[in-house]
Chain A
Amino acid sequence: GCSQDDKDGASGSKDSDEIKIGVNLELSGAVASYGTSEADGIQLAVDEINDDGGIDGKKIKLVKIDNKSDAAEATNAAIKLTTQENVVAIIGAATSGATVAQAQIANDNKTPLISPSGTSPTVTVNEKGEVNEFVFRTSFIDPFQGTVAANFAANDLGVKNVAIFSDNASDYSKGLAASFKEDFEKAGGKVVAEESYVAKDSDFRSTLTRIKSAKPEFIFIPGYYEEVGLIVKQAREMGIDVPLMGADGWDSPTLMDLAGADALNNTFTTNHYSSDDPDGAVKAFNDKFNEEYGKSPDAFNALGYDTVYLLKDAIERAGSVDSTKIKDALAETDGLDLVTGNYSVDENHHPIKSATILEYKDGEQVFNTKVNP
């Protein structure tokens, strides 16, 4: 990084009446569904802000790059955004791996990087335990939701023997499973079966058969709604009627369609927010999204949307588009109200957000409990 000292001087866009923000997302490839969802949320937020006159009078200009769900492409894209486009900040990527691939570049080029949904702790804290100064995230980190779910299962549901069914291809899912297990065992429970699947599977019957024969009273399924929908459906078809629980990855209107309302009875999730939360911001977002895209938003849409507002808040507080100042402002974010909850950041750049526990009842998400960190 020896040619980076021109960063503040020659970057033409910084003095113009535009704020250039890079978007580095999985728009094609294996996890295109996450990336495209976030892109929709981001676009909605940016349109809103620009229609409102922008940030301090400056319009946001997005520079989108598709990283094809590939870490190498994500690196390349990040380099392009920082050195060619001289963006003020980068939003992305949707997965932890593709975010980690950019972390070093963000640090080297002093460009804030915010991942809407990179939940792995390693996104903001590298393997040596050092905080990636310029890297932030909008979502929870994995352990937090795992802890919440474990406590809920042990205390509120009062179950003793549980099974865990996680997605081995996703560090999100594995992270959640690990923290759930740790805290649930700490609470005196027993994990009677630990099974895994791999994202993009559609048939889970054989593993569910195994789980069923272990006779758990509760199954923790940290995963994304695409697979979870099928798992819940197939589990219920096979006569598994114990409570099931997951995390924010479940959140999508499609889950209801995939699993069916009946199958979803007696299932719980932790989430940032509840879309039927009477809270004005959430409702406004829902309506606006519906109007724009003709469907209800899912968690990725919301996280993408929130990431833009998180950045906007930081820029406003920094009072400048200077990257380092924005970074400092981001690190000081405190109590910002977002669609996905009230957001503060800790010293590891992990968000401090409250979690909501929701229950599905006859096709409706019903608020159950709110858990503060």
Chain B
Amino acid sequence: MKKSKQFWVFAVLAIAIYAAIQFMISGGFLNNFYSNTLIFMGINIMLAVSLHLVIGITGQFSLGHAGFLAVGAYVSAILTMKLDLPFIAAILIAGIAAALAGLVVGIPSLRLRGDYLAIATLGFAEIIRIIFLNIDYVGGAAGMQVTHLTTWTYTFICLFVTILVIVNFTNSRHGRACIAVRENEIAADAMGINTTYYKVLAFAIGSFFAGVAGALYAHNFYIIQPANFGFLKSIDILIYVVLGGLGSLSGAIVATILLTIVSTFLQDFPETRMIIYSLVLIIVMLYRPKGLMGKMEFTDYLKMWMKPKGGSQHEQ
């Protein structure tokens, strides 16, 4: 079938990218700085893509993604540092713990709409952060030192799985149900869709991958502190999703890559860095209010390109 061919193209392309980069890292062509930037980028993409499922696909305005990142980071750190579990197990359990946290947060709050939901999720994320702040077992404000275990390979595999699962989910009847909830909740309900179930499901899946990202995050930056997971972190993730184009997974990826590059590049201008960064944000939004890619995906462009007179085709 056509869809499965698409999958294989995607898979081969992904493996090629992975191999090329891995080769450059082990061959010493990419120094530590670049490989670390790539890892950072990968983690950010996972965060953006998982939030995209919640906001872009299901239309639930969550401002609490950093909370699930925190759960993943802390749980995985406890597992590797205190319980000496292998990293892979820590990654998985971190995802599951974050998904559970997603359920706990989602079930009461997803009945709220719009900004009320935003503030409730923000509140939950802050509560999560404050809980970690007050647990001495994980170091309180001083945080927890974590061994560096994240590698490009781990990052890539997790990223690949994240994208694959979310793309496949989106392009299924379940994903369509989520989009229907986004487009018109009342009509979705009237069409027999259990809107609460799908909202919570999307939220839990999104949280799961945020948790996985958290595990990679914790094991990449040597230390985790509650201060790293404040609401500004949630906003950073939100920016990726919106800047790329709400509803476009490709957009979320492109925006994350671009912003990470911009941010890295701006390190050379420490005093004006945030000024330029904020100007970039404002200008992009002013000139591309629908985000860099609007609702388009790479595959849409590909189709348009292969079928020049194909008009407006929309997949998903």
Q: Do A and B come from one complex?
A: yes
Judged by a CB distance under 8 angstroms, whether A72 is at the interface is yes
A65 to B267, Cβ gap below 8 A?
A: yes
- Indicate if B36 sits at the interface (CB-CB under 8 A): yes
- Assuming the contacts A79-B36, A97-B142, A101-B221, asked whether A169 and B267 have C-beta atoms less than 8 A apart, the reply is no
**In the bound complex, do residue A71 and residue B142 qualify as a contact, i.e. CB atoms below 8 Å apart?**
no
- Complex CA gap A1/B224 in Å reads 22
Chain A contacts with B in 73-119, Cβ cutoff 8 A:
75-77, 79-80, 82-84, 96-97, 100-105
Partner of A3, one of B32, B141, B143, B145: B32
Partner-binding segment picked from B55-63, B100-108, B268-276: B268-276
Report the minimal beta-carbon distance from A99 to chain B, rounded to whole angstroms: 9
What residues of A have a CB within 8 angstroms of the CB of B217 in the complex? 72
A sample of 8 cross-chain residue pairs with beta-carbon separation below 8 angstroms, ordered by A number, consists of A4-B32, A28-B273, A71-B224, A75-B221, A75-B222, A97-B225, A97-B227, A103-B222
Q: Is B142 in contact with A174, judged by CB distance below 8 angstroms? A: yes
Q: Are A97 and B223 in contact (CB under 8 A)?
A: yes
B47 to chain A, nearest CB (A): 12
The answer to whether A66 and B273 touch (CB under 8 A), given A30-B227, A76-B37, is yes
B288 at the interface (CB under 8 A from A): no
A226 to B75, CA, bound (A): 34
The answer on a CB contact under 8 Å between A79 and B33 is: yes
Q: Does A127 touch B at the CB level, under 8 Å?
A: yes
Known: A71-B223, A104-B222, A168-B133. A79 touches B274 (CB 8 A): no
Residues in A with CB closer than 8 Å to B142 are 96-97, 120, 122, 171, 174
**CA of A170 to CA of B140, assembled, Å:** 9
Q: A27: CB under 8 A from chain B? A: yes
Is B220 in the interface zone, CB < 8 Å from A? yes
Instruction: Determine if A325 is an interface residue (Cβ-Cβ < 8 Å).
Output: no
Chain B residues near A96: list those with CB within 8 A: 142
Total number of B residues with any Cβ neighbor in A under 8 Å = 31
B274→A66 contact, CB < 8 A: yes
* One of B31, B40, B225, B271 near A83 (C-beta < 8 A): B31
Residue of B nearest to A72 (CB): B221
Interface string of B241-265 (1 = CB under 8 A from A): 0000000000000000000000010
B133 touches A27 (CB 8 A): no
Q: How far is the CB of A362 from chain B (nearest CB, A)?
A: 35
**Does A215 make an interface contact (CB < 8 A)?**
no
Interface centre among A79, A97, A120 (most CB of B within 10 A): A97
Contact digits for A1-19, partner B, Cβ 8 Å, 1 yes 0 no: 1111000000000000000
A23: chain B residues at CB < 8 Å are 270
With a CB–CB cut-off of 8 A, which chain B residues contact A1?
32
* CB of B11, distance to nearest CB on chain A (Å): 29
Q: With a CB–CB cut-off of 8 A, which chain A residues contact B310?
A: none
Are A79 and B32 CB-contacts (below 8 A) given A65-B270, A104-B148?
yes
Bound Cα distance A3, B264 (Å): 21
A171→B33 CA distance, assembly (Å): 29
Residue of A at shortest CB range from B143?
Answer: A97
Given A96-B142, A101-B221, A83 and B33 touching (CB < 8 A)? Answer: yes
Which chain A residues border B273 with CB–CB below 8 Å?
27-28, 66
Q: Does B28 contact A (CB under 8 A)?
A: yes
Given contacts A97-B143, A174-B142, contact A71 B225 (CB under 8 A): yes
A interface residues (Cβ-Cβ under 8 A, vs B): 1-4, 23, 25, 27-28, 30, 64-66, 68-72, 75-77, 79-80, 82-84, 96-97, 100-105, 120, 122, 126-127, 168-171, 174
Q: Is B228 close to A, CB under 8 A?
A: yes
Please determine whether B222 and A71 come into contact, CB atoms closer than 8 angstroms. Answer: yes
- In the complex, what's the smallest C-beta–C-beta distance from B72 to chain A, in angstroms? 14
Interface pair B223/A80, CB less than 8 Å apart: no
Known: A3-B28, A79-B36. A71 touches B140 (CB 8 A): no
Inside 8 A of A75's CB, which chain B residues have their CB?
36, 220-222
Whole-angstrom distance between the alpha carbons of A316 and B40 in the complex?
38
Q: Which of A66, A170, A171 contacts B267 (CB 8 A)?
A: A66
Nearest residue (CB) in B for A126 is B145
- Residue of B140, B222, B274 ringed by the most chain A CB atoms within 10 A: B222
Distance, CA A168 to CA B129, complexed state (A): 13
Beyond contacts A3-B28, A82-B32, A104-B222: 5 other A-B pairs, Cβ-Cβ < 8 A, are A71-B222, A75-B220, A76-B36, A79-B32, A168-B140
**Contact assessment for A84 and B33 in the assembled complex, using a CB-CB cutoff below 8 Å:** yes
Q: Do the beta carbons of B267 and A27 come within 8 Å of each other?
A: no
Evaluate contact between A100 and B222: CB separation under 8 angstroms: yes
Residues of B within 8 A of A27 (CB): 270-271, 273
- Given A71-B224, A79-B32, do A66 and B140 touch, yes or no (CB 8 Å)? no
Complex-state Cα separation, A77 to B222, whole angstroms? 13
Question: A141 to chain B: closest CB distance in Å?
Answer: 13
Chain B, range 205-248, C-beta contacts under 8 Å to A: 217, 220-225, 227-228, 230
A169 to chain B minimum Cβ distance, whole angstroms, is 5
Q: Nearest chain A CB to B165's CB is how many angstroms away?
A: 25
Which residues on the B side are within 8 Å of A104 (C-beta)? 148, 222
Choose from A64, A72, A76, A127 the contact partner of B145 (Cβ within 8 Å).
A127
Q: Which of B32, B133, B223, B264 contacts A169 (CB 8 A)?
A: B133
Closest to B233 in A: A70
A-facing mask of B178-211, CB < 8 A → 1, else 0? 0000000000000000000000000000000000
For residue B41, give the distance in angstroms from its CB to the closest CB of chain A.
Answer: 11
Instruction: Output the least CB separation between B76 and chain A (Å).
Output: 15
> Which one, A72, A82, A105, contacts B228 given CB within 8 A?
A72
- Say whether A174 contacts B223, CB under 8 Å: no
Q: CB distance A28 to B222 under 8 Å?
A: no
Which of B33, B133, B274 lies at the interface centre, i.e. has the most chain A CB atoms within 10 A of its CB?
A: B33
- Say whether, besides A71-B224, A71-B225, A76-B40, A83 and B140 are in contact (CB < 8 Å): no
**Are A83 and B32 in contact, CB atoms less than 8 angstroms apart?**
yes
Q: With contacts A126-B145, A170-B141 known, is A3 near B31, CB below 8 A? A: yes
In the assembled complex, the Cα of A2 lies from the Cα of B31 at a distance in Å of 10
> In the complex, are the beta carbons of B267 and A70 less than 8 A apart?
no
